């Protein structure tokens, strides 16, 4: 296994391709987006990820990595294309996996290995990928091998986690799993654990669903605490002193392209039996509307109200807007006629113009913290107090030092707290 063709050069495919290339493999990275291909061939990167630019430009410079818009023959094909949801009915859109798999069929040769890295509904490898591959005339498990190796990296730490994390390798048969393990052993320092292919698909979905359901539990508990007039954060902290309890954090909703997406794959497949998972998704998706309701209450009948929204990204310290609950809150408040100025330290491309910090606070009737970018902790509430029209803070992430804000004259409201 010397040559590798990686289908899809996004957050997963590009780091994977360049790590293999820097470990001596000849790697062809393939993307349907010509701009991505041109950028990679010039040694540039189109995504923000610490260390990636240096790695890609070294890999391209060494001659081990090049990019193209069409695949070529290789010993190993790695498919790392998107697996989003269809907007209308929340079903899995498997178009990219299907197209990428079809594109490699004419290039397959006996002894080849195909690896699906895309997060996929359980059963995808056996029911979608395998039948397409077998149109090559090669018999899977005998002439051709197939494995699923899901990714569990965290954006912002992709390169170190790619190497350090334990890795699940699911094989179509034992030889497929062994071959994939040998391949990843070239750079993976974590443990490589072998299993059957559908199990590996389910493991990845279970990881993200576990987090979604636990966050939904925290969010639901937070709403109950608000109604009880008590503080969820204190309840969660004290309950988590139990040796077998770990209550997750509540917040304005769950976004991104993993945790808020993957549980739907199970809901689609098991509409009756995945009732808990479905309810958790709905609970998390309903949180932005709750934040909007409380913000409107805080604004009361203010004349031409203005909100200073801090953060637009779906979580702290990233620039990613995909599925962001902060974006949903801002859009709904604007639909209610509220003037919302939005600041974000990381987001560069938003669907509307972002404000500088001072302009954001100017004449605001409520400071609404939506994203837990760490730097918001260093905003000085005494300076903010000079800029706003009404001193009110609604913290939906439990991020800020509320004593400081109170000392600066602010009324402080906290998501999950029903205390006056």
Binding site for ligand NAD (CB under 6 A): 7-13, 30-33, 36, 80-83, 96, 99-100, 118-119, 151, 153, 155, 257-258
Of 181, 204, 306, 315, the catalytic one is 204
* Other Cβ atoms within 10 Å of 210 Cβ, number: 14
Phi, psi for 287 (deg, rounded to 5) = -65, -40
The whole-angstrom separation of Cα 113 and Cα 258 is: 26
Residue nearest ligand NAD (C-beta atom): 10
All residues at 6 or more sequence positions from 54 whose CB lies less than 8 Å from its CB, including other chains: none
Minimum distance of ligand NAD from residue 310's CB (angstroms): 24
Q: What is the DSSP letter of 174?
A: H
The whole-angstrom separation of Cα 373 and Cα 310 is: 9
Nearer to ligand NAD by C-beta: 281 or 306?
281
Q: Which tokens hold the place of 376?
A: 């918001």
Nearer to ligand NAD by C-beta: 48 or 143?
48
Partners of residue 339 on adjacent β-strands:
306
Of 125, 258, 360, 366, the catalytic one is 258
Q: Which tokens hold the place of 380?
A: 């000085």
Minimum distance of ligand NAD from residue 87's CB (angstroms): 16
Q: What is the DSSP string of 239-274?
A: HTTSTT-------S---TTTTTTHHHHHHHH-TTTT
Minimum distance of ligand NAD from residue 112's CB (angstroms): 17
CA distance readout (Å), 388 to 336, 337, 368: 21, 19, 12
The whole-angstrom separation of Cα 151 and Cα 161 is: 10
All residues at 6 or more sequence positions from 20 whose CB lies less than 8 Å from its CB, including other chains: 4, 6, 27, 186, 187
CB-based contact 7:27 (threshold 8 Å): no
Minimum distance of ligand NAD from residue 74's CB (angstroms): 14
Does the annotation mark 204 as catalytic?
yes
Cα-to-chain-centroid distance, residue 176: 29
The whole-angstrom separation of Cα 217 and Cα 208 is: 14
Minimum distance of ligand NAD from residue 377's CB (angstroms): 25
Nearer to ligand NAD by C-beta: 205 or 384?
205
CA distance readout (Å), 166 to 126, 149, 181, 254, 339: 24, 11, 12, 25, 47
Nearer to ligand NAD by C-beta: 162 or 393?
162
Does the annotation mark 360 as catalytic?
no
Nearer to ligand NAD by C-beta: 96 or 232?
96
Nearer to ligand NAD by C-beta: 12 or 364?
12
Nearer to ligand NAD by C-beta: 82 or 141?
82
The whole-angstrom separation of Cα 188 and Cα 120 is: 22
Minimum distance of ligand NAD from residue 80's CB (angstroms): 5
Q: Which tokens hold the place of 240?
A: 């988590």
Length of the chain equals 420
Minimum distance of ligand NAD from residue 220's CB (angstroms): 26
Enumerate the active-site residues. Answer: 204, 258
């Amino acid at each position: 296994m010397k040559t590798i063709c990686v289908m899809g050069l996004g957050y997963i495919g590009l780091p994977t391709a360049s790590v293999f290339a820097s470990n001596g493999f000849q790697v062809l990275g393939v993307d349907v987006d010509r701009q991505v291909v041109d950028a990679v061939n010039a040694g540039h990167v189109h995504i923000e990820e610490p260390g990636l630019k240096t790695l890609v430009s070294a890999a391209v410079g060494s001659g081990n990595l090049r990019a193209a818009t069409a695949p070529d023959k290789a010993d190993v094909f790695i498919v790392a294309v998107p697996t989003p949801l269809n907007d209308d009915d929340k079903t899995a859109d498997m178009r990219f996996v299907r197209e990428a798999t079809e594109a490699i069929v004419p290039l397959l040769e006996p002894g080849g290995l195909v690896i699906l890295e895309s997060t996929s509904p359980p059963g995808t490898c056996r029911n979608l990928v395998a039948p397409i591959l077998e149109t090559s005339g090669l018999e899977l498990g005998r002439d051709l091998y197939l494995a699923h190796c899901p990714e569990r990296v965290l954006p912002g730490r992709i390169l170190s986690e790619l190497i350090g994390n334990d890795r699940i390798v699911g094989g179509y048969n034992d030889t497929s799993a062994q071959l994939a393990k040998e391949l990843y052993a070239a750079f993976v320092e974590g443990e490589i654990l072998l299993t059957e292919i559908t199990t590996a698909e389910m493991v990845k979905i279970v990881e993200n669903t576990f987090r979604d359901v636990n966050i939904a539990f925290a969010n639901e508990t937070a709403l109950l605490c608000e109604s009880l007039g008590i503080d969820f954060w204190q309840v969660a902290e004290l309950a988590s002193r139990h040796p077998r309890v770990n209550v997750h954090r509540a917040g304005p909703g769950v976004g991104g392209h993993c945790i808020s997406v993957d549980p739907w794959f199970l809901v689609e497949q098991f509409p009756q039996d995945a009732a808990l998972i479905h309810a958790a998704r709905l609970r998390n998706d309903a949180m932005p509307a709750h934040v909007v309701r409380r913000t409107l209450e805080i604004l009361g009948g203010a004349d031409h109200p203005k909100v200073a929204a801090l953060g637009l990204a779906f979580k702290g310290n990233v620039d990613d807007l995909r599925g962001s609950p902060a974006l949903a809150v801002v859009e709904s408040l604007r639909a209610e006629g509220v003037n919302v100025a939005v600041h974000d330290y990381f987001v560069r491309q938003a669907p509307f113009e972002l404000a500088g910090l001072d302009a954001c606070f100017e004449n605001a009737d409520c400071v609404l913290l939506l994203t837990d970018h760490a730097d918001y902790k260093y905003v000085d509430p005494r300076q903010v107090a000079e800029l706003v029209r009404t001193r009110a803070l609604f913290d939906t992430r439990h991020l800020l030092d509320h004593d400081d804000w109170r000392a600066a004259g602010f009324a402080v409201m906290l998501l999950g707290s029903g205390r006056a």
